[in-house]
Amino acid sequence: MKAEHYVGGVFRSDGTSFPLIAPADGSELGAVPEATREVVDDAVTAAQAALRGPWGTTSAEDRAAALRAVADGIQARFEEFVDAEVADTGRSREFARTVDVPRAIGNFRSYAELLYGRPERAYTTQIPGWSGGAGEALNYTVRRPLGVVAIISPWNLPLLLSTWKIAPALACGNAVVLKPSEETPSTATLLARVIDDAGLPDGVFNLVHGHGPDAAGEFLTGHPGVDAIAFTGESATGAAIMRNAADHVTPVSFELGGKNPALVFADADLDAAVDGTVRSSFTHSGQICLCTERVYVERPVFDEFVVRLGERASALDGYGPMISAGHRDKVLAYYGLARDEGATVVAGGGAPSFGDERDGGFHVEPTVLTGLPETARAVREEIFGPVCHVAPFDTEDEALALANDSPYGLASTLWTRDLSRAHRVAPRVETGIVWVNCWNIRDLRTPFGGVKASGIGREGGEYSLDFFSEPVNVCIQI
Ligand code: NAD
Ligand code: 6OD
């Protein structure tokens, strides 16, 4: 798949380019065009023009039909999307087939359905009676699109996470400019092909490729023609985008990093807790923002849990690579740092050697650590690799204090058979999502997002429609 910009309904790849590297074996997959400021300007101008055209007054029914056409288009090219996501990320075909591509289709379908749950242009909240002494008045509320929405997405779930924002943005009648991660441009280009074939008006969806700082990402998020920014990525990048957007007071929705805790109580089903932690720490080699990197285990079952988790981590096979050589080096540096900080390495701790083409790729071993103080950098900072640190606790209050002692607050997992404990503890964990006896079950209508440094706002179902549109009060004197 050749990466191209898509601007105002036209595919183009003018200007300089940079190589796209396969993380599975280090081979070169192709070239990616680097959007200049001019390309970004053209994309924003095209989006503004689209909003002045028929898209600006489309009915909810027509927008729902457009979203369904995009979902159908992805379905029709399912295997091409799988191929592109596997090549760019190095993940397994099974993951792309069961998670990435079905979820992208689900994102478009679910917002098409949701539009039917809402009256045209959404709420009409009437407030009769109150007039502030000015005679009788009727207040009602309509919602309108924000305008041009910039979407900046990361490399870890490229198609899933970009469509998670594109679908509700279009559902609300906005026009979109997407800048996907420079590491994973291919499914975004394929999506532009699908949207083009689906017949959405020119400029409703635009795609620009390139890097973030001092490049396409920064040009876009600081652009005066952008009316809102929806960003998923690192917390430090979120802070940089906020600074850049501040001059134009552009509203933001941020889904950022995490250092997610799991609490394993002694009354838990230990088989389920070990299985669940293998999934939550090592799925996609830990490169999911929801992955567990801190595990706190009640002391009576601590030793058994550590032995079993270590055995399972050592036996993992077929785990995918880190996204890039740079990210592999970062994760390995944290493994080294953890050792320097006094960690016991229960499993992994290095880079594997396969004796085949994978040795040209960017793999690291699934790793289980113990013995670090809570102040250790490897316990406090997001590593974003297949690694967790396991520490013991003695009381429920101590477990909560440990879980909450973090600058992040994205997701947590509780393992207990005690229903009262689950209800008591869940609301006290300072994360936006708390899973009990499971991990990463996703109902797309639920609020998704983090607290503290893990994000601003919530997306999902009605929560996304609330961000991507704004309420307008109409007051009529009767
Ligand atoms: P990143 O922040 O490095 O990059 C994300 C995107 O931002 C990329 O498209 C990049 O080009 C762009 N970017 C970088 N600097 C920019 C700037 N100054 N201005 C504008 N754009 C800029 O993140 P990543 O490495 O791609 O992804 C991994 C991170 O994302 C992890 O921290 C992970 O936890 C987080 N993440 C969070 C969620 C969530 O839902 N909370 C989901 C996935 C990933
Ligand atoms: O499932 C989702 O909707 C979602 N936003 C997942 C984020 C995963 C982070 O890597």
Per residue in 279-297, pLDDT (tens digit) is 999 999 999 999 999 999 9
Q: Is the pLDDT of residue 124 over 70?
A: no
Q: What average pLDDT does the segment 137-159 reach?
A: 93
For residue 107, the ligand 2 atom closest to its alpha carbon is 3
288 lines ligand 2 (CB under 6 A): yes
Give the CATH H-level superfamily of domain 5-256+454-477: Aldehyde Dehydrogenase; Chain A, domain 1 (3.40.605.10)
Specify the residue for token string 């032995």. 307
pLDDT at 399: 98
Catalytic residue among 289, 298, 365, 459: 289
Instruction: Provide the 3-class DSSP secondary structure of residue 369.
Output: strand
| Residue 220 β-bridge partners | none
| Residue 149 β-bridge partners | 176, 228
pLDDT at 476: 86
Q: In the structure encoding, which two tokens stand for residue 246, read together?
A: 């501040």
Task: Identify the CATH number of the domain defined by range 260-443.
Answer: 3.40.309.10
Residue 410: nearest ligand to its CA? 1
Give the integer Cα–Cα distance in Å for 431 and 188.
30
Q: What is the pLDDT confidence band of residue 143, given thresholds at 50, 70 and 90?
A: confident
Domains 5-256+454-477 and 260-443 alike in fold: no
Give the integer Cα–Cα distance in Å for 444 and 447.
8
Q: What average pLDDT does the segment 379-401 reach?
A: 98
Q: What average pLDDT does the segment 18-45 reach?
A: 98
For the chain, the domains span 5-256+454-477, 260-443
Type and span of the H or E element at 384: none
Q: In the structure encoding, which two tokens stand for residue 156, read together?
A: 């870890």
Say how many Å lie between the CA of residue 394 and the centre of ligand 1. 36
Type and span of the H or E element at 148: strand 148-152
* Residue of 376, 474, 445 lying closest to 141 (CA atoms): 474
pLDDT at 138: 80
Q: Is the pLDDT of residue 1 over 80?
A: no
Q: Is the pLDDT of residue 88 over 80?
A: yes
Give the least confident one: 117-126, 205-214, 231-240.
Answer: 117-126
Pocket of ligand 1 (CB under 6 A): 152-156, 161, 179, 181-182, 211-213, 217-218, 221, 232-234, 237, 240-241, 255-258, 289, 382, 384, 410, 450, 455
pTM above 0.95, yes or no: yes
Give the integer Cα–Cα distance in Å for 81 and 421.
43
Q: Is the pLDDT of residue 120 over 50?
A: no
Taking only the tens place, the pLDDT of each residue in 426-449 is: 999 999 999 999 999 999 999 999
Upper half-sphere CA count for residue 25 (Cβ side, 13 Å): 10
> What is the phi/psi pair of residue 391, to 5°?
-135, 150
Taking only the tens place, the pLDDT of each residue in 312-341 is: 999 999 889 999 999 999 999 999 999 999
Percent of the chain with pLDDT over 70: 96
| Residue 262 β-bridge partners | 295, 413
DSSP state of 450: -
Contact yes or no for 436/276 (Cβ under 8 A): no
DSSP state of 200: P
Say how many Å lie between the CA of residue 103 and the centre of ligand 1. 20
Say how many Å lie between the CA of residue 210 and the centre of ligand 1. 13
Question: Measured in whole angstroms, how far is the alpha carbon of residue 274 from the centre of its chain?
Answer: 25
Please count the helices (runs of H) and the strands (runs of E) in the chain. 16, 21
445 lines ligand 2 (CB under 6 A): no
Say how many Å lie between the CA of residue 255 and the centre of ligand 2. 9
CA-atom Rg of the chain in angstroms? 23
Say how many Å lie between the CA of residue 318 and the centre of ligand 1. 26
Substitution site in 152, 157, 406, 452 for ligand 1 pocket (most atoms within 8 Å of beta carbon) = 152
Ramachandran class of 131: left when φ > 0, alpha when ψ lies in -120 to 50, beta otherwise: alpha
Q: What average pLDDT does the segment 144-156 reach?
A: 97
Burial pattern 238-277, b for ≥16 Cβ within 10 A else e, equals bebbbebbeeeebbbbbbbbbbbbbbbbbebebeebbebb
Is 291 part of the annotated catalytic residue set?
Answer: no
Is 289 part of the annotated catalytic residue set?
Answer: yes
Residue 254: nearest ligand to its CA? 1
By the 10 Å C-beta count (0-12 exposed, 13-18 middle, 19+ buried), 16 is classed as exposed
pLDDT at 123: 46
Contact yes or no for 215/91 (Cβ under 8 A): no
For residue 164, the ligand 2 atom closest to its alpha carbon is 3
Contact yes or no for 304/270 (Cβ under 8 A): yes
Give the least confident one: 141-145, 348-352, 360-364.
Answer: 141-145
Residue 382: nearest ligand to its CA? 1
Instruction: Provide the 3-class DSSP secondary structure of residue 54.
Output: helix
Alpha-carbon dihedral 18, 385, 156, 436, rounded to 10 degrees: -170
Catalytic residue among 85, 182, 255, 298: 255
